[in-house]
Amino acid sequence: MRKTSMTKVAAAAMAAAMMLTACGGGNAATATTAAPAADNGAATTQTEAASTGATITDTDIVVAMGADIVTMDPANQNDTTSSVLMNHVYNTLMEVNDDGELVGDLAESYEIVDDGKAYIFHLYENACFSDGTPVTAEDVKFTYERAMESAKTKSDVEAVESIEVIDEHTVKMNLKMVYAPFITKTTDSGLCILSKAATEAAGEAYGDVDTVLGSGAFIPTEWVPNDHYTLVRNENYWKETPIATSIEVRVIPEGSARTIALEAGEVDIVWNVDAIDCVNVEANPDVLLLSQPSASIEYMGMNTSKEKFSDVRVRQAINMAIGQQVFIDTIVEGRGTPANSYINAMIPGWTDEVTAYEYNIEKAKELMAEAGYPDGFDCSIYVNGDNRTRSATIVQAQLAEIGINVEISTYEWGALLEILTKGDHELFFLGWSNSSFDADGSTFALFHSSNFGATGNRAWLDDEQVDSLIEAAQVEVDHEKRMDLYKQLQFRLKELAPWVPMYYKDDNVGVRADLKGFRLHKGATHYIGNAHYEE
């Protein structure tokens, strides 16, 4: 079946909704067959390996990551580290494949009905959880209704008004309005489909390793927080059986230690090679560096609900006092580009017409004086990890030029997220990755006033014009008009300056040179399931 790029599928869905509205056919339907998930390109399946005479010798894969997951419960996470586990243990209705194309996962096909205000999903009838019980429409309904109650996933289901179970393998999502990004929302790791029975049986304990039941290619067997977790192959997987028999993910916060472990053969994959270590990996014939532009943005946020940062002139002054190039040169070693805007350059809707604030210390001092802080003030910045601590040190020096004295506090990943969720912070460093490749995924959770805290708006930005532009883009089915709304939004965000957009970094993954079956995912949700060694 011909695969269609996600942008084209979304555009087709929106066009269909427009056509239905124009025809006035309230119950007319347009059917879309979900393109099947592709195999992982470079991955050699067990059958293919045998046919070429290759012998698979090692299928127990060890991965190093810089931070730990926060939970094994999809609805209680919205961070990229936890999404790695979700991608291997669960399935979503739709997914974005390695090449950035929107394809079916649990959904074999879907239809857009009711003038574009409803979606009917037809599930694969052979889809089952790892205990052999079938994945049903009731499980989908339960998952989405449960997501509505979680602060970390509510933004994904904001448009859903009600959910109907039509039959065991057919579910209908009724929306509050025509909602352009809905089909891409179904790919989010927060909406991994849960077993209703298993989740209800576990109650509040769901997410502990012995309670998890997914329909994905792997089963979690162990989790030692801030040390490692282990996944084993689901021998009853309803799709193609993965080649890897186990995946152990080790938490190694220090970047050089991850690289040393790779070079020593202690790990097979380093998920995130620090830029400073990339040269060493490239120079070592025993390992390979796999790089690509990312769909993420690194930024310094300001809590606009705090008095010091409630004045837009202070936020603009901070933007003018930060020189981006030093971060490109020293933090990512040239492996990235300065961020001109609040949306990554790979995301449709990004515009080069928006520019970053020019570095201008004198103008920044003028703005600080106008805001009532001619001598600056004291504040704190919250970060995690080596790179962001180094970034905070640079910020500390730069902001001292305009009288702002910054105290740096470094936390473990999960602890940092908890602090930012409470809203007591002032400055913070974070990144945001948009694996859906829809601009709503880079804006709604992060800037809409309904999403303070855990949902994503950790700048506590509350602006009627921002809300209005986001909402207008969500219901706009004309692609060009929708993209223009995102352009307007980016200009407004620059004016309000709740962030200092720092840079769009490259994804850098290190692997052993003889590792087979692993390739990069365009949205950095790489699949490890077919990684193996041969002789």
DSSP class per residue in 83-145:
HHHHHHH---SEEE-TTSBEEESSEEEEEEETTTTEEEEEE-TT-B-TTSPBP-HHHHHHHHH
- The average pLDDT across 393-421 equals 94
Enter the DSSP assignment of 207. Answer: T
399: Cβ–Cβ under 8 A, 6 or more apart, which residues? 318, 321, 322, 405, 406
Which of 98, 95, 81 has its CA nearest to residue 519? 98
Would you state the structure tokens that stand for residue 1, as one six-digit string?
Answer: 């079946």
DSSP per position, 314-331: HHHHHHHH--THHHHHHT
Here the tokens at position 453 are 């805290």
* Whether residue 378 has pLDDT greater than 90: yes
- The confidence score (pLDDT) of residue 30 equals 39
pLDDT of 88-135, one tens digit each?
A: 999 999 998 888 889 999 999 999 999 999 999 999 999 999 999 999
Query: What angle, 0 to 180 degrees and rounded to 10, lies between the N-to-C axes of helices 312-321 and 385-400?
Result: 100
Note the pLDDT tens digit of each residue in 147-166.
999 988 988 999 999 999 99
Q: Residue 52 — pLDDT band, cuts 50, 70, 90? A: low
- What residue has token string 């074999």? 108
Element (H, E) at 223: strand 218-224
d(CA 32, CA 179): 17
Stretch (H or E) spanning 420: helix 413-422
Structural element, H or E, at residue 533: strand 533-534
- pLDDT at site 32: 47
Share of the chain above pLDDT 70, in %: 90
Q: How far apart are the C-alpha atoms of 202 and 195, rounded to whole Å?
A: 11
pLDDT (tens digit per residue) in 410-447: 999 889 999 999 999 999 999 998 888 899 999 999 99
For 253, the token pair is: 């916060």
Triad 146, 149, 150: Cα angle to 5° = 95
Q: Yes or no: say if 373 and 314 are a contact pair by the CB < 8 Å rule.
A: yes
- Residue pLDDT, tens place only, 484-493: 999 999 999 9
- Choose among 176, 156, 36, 174: nearest CA to 112: 174
Q: How far is CA 309 from CA 46, 248, 451, 459, in A?
A: 57, 43, 19, 10
Average pLDDT over residues 444-467: 94
- Look at residue 454 in the predicted model and tell me its pLDDT: 87
How large is the angle between the packed helices 361-370 and 312-321, nearest 10 degrees?
A: 160
Question: What residue type is assigned to position 419 of the chain?
Answer: I
- State residue 299 phi and psi, 5-degree precision: -150, 160
SS (H, E, C) 334-363: CCEEECCCCCCCCCECECCCCCCCCCCHHH
Phi, psi of 452 (to 5 degrees): -60, 145
Q: 63-77: string of b/e by CB count within 10 Å (b at 16+)?
A: bbbbbbbbbbbbbbb
